[in-house]
Amino acid sequence: MLSLSSSSLVSFGGIAKPFSAPIRLKCQYTPLRTTINNPSDSMASPKWAQKTVTLPPQRRGCHLVTSKIMKEINQEIAGFKCGLAHLFLQHTSASLTINENYDSDVRDDTETFLSRVVPEGTSAPWKHTLEGKCVT
């Protein structure tokens, strides 16, 4: 079964505005077989699942989103033995990181680092003001 890390984080900076970040998922399906009678049967045809998942608005920061994503896609990936997930965030200042979540201090350290690299407010040297879903 396809599994995302239990600590997928969505982090975003800039001017924090509520957003919904659609995530697209595509997976290759390999049917489970106990025996292979015909050698040509060992090559299963590719199967795909795709779903758009909209996450609820969140404040600026690092947020665990794995359980929300898995809840939405469990039915689509139930028959998959293995696969590959492609995640696409449609937000101008959102990013996705995947790491272990053994120590909760890692999330705090990541937030501290991002706040230093991308400060918020009028003291920040940024000129752009457009934030949110793709503005093109």
**The pLDDT of residue 35 is above 70:** no
Taking the C-alpha atoms of residue 27 and residue 135, their distance in angstroms, rounded to an integer, is 28
The whole-number pLDDT of residue 72 equals 93
Instruction: Give the DSSP H or E segment for 94.
Output: strand 94-97
The answer to the question of residue 56 being in a domain is: yes
User: pTM of whole model > 0.95?
Assistant: no
Is the residue at 131 inside a domain?
Answer: no
First to last CA, the chain: 36
Whether residue 106 is contained in a domain is answered as: no
**Residue-range definition of the domain harbouring residue 69:** 9-33+44-98
Q: Would you say residue 134 has pLDDT above 90?
A: no
Q: Which residues contact 49 (CB under 8 A, 6 or more apart)?
A: 25, 26, 27, 29, 73, 76, 77, 80
Residue 88 or 126, more confident: 88
In a domain, 112, yes or no: no
Tokens of 72: 């939405």
Give the number of other Cβ atoms within 10 Å of residue 51's Cβ: 16
pLDDT at 111 over 50: yes
Number of domains in the chain: 1
Separation between Cα atoms, residue 65 and residue 9, nearest integer Å: 6
Give the tens place of pLDDT for each residue, 42-52: 566 778 888 99
136 within some domain = no
SS3 category, 110? helix
* Tens-digit pLDDT profile for residues 50-80: 899 988 888 888 888 989 999 999 999 988 8
**H or E segment to which residue 54 belongs:** strand 50-54
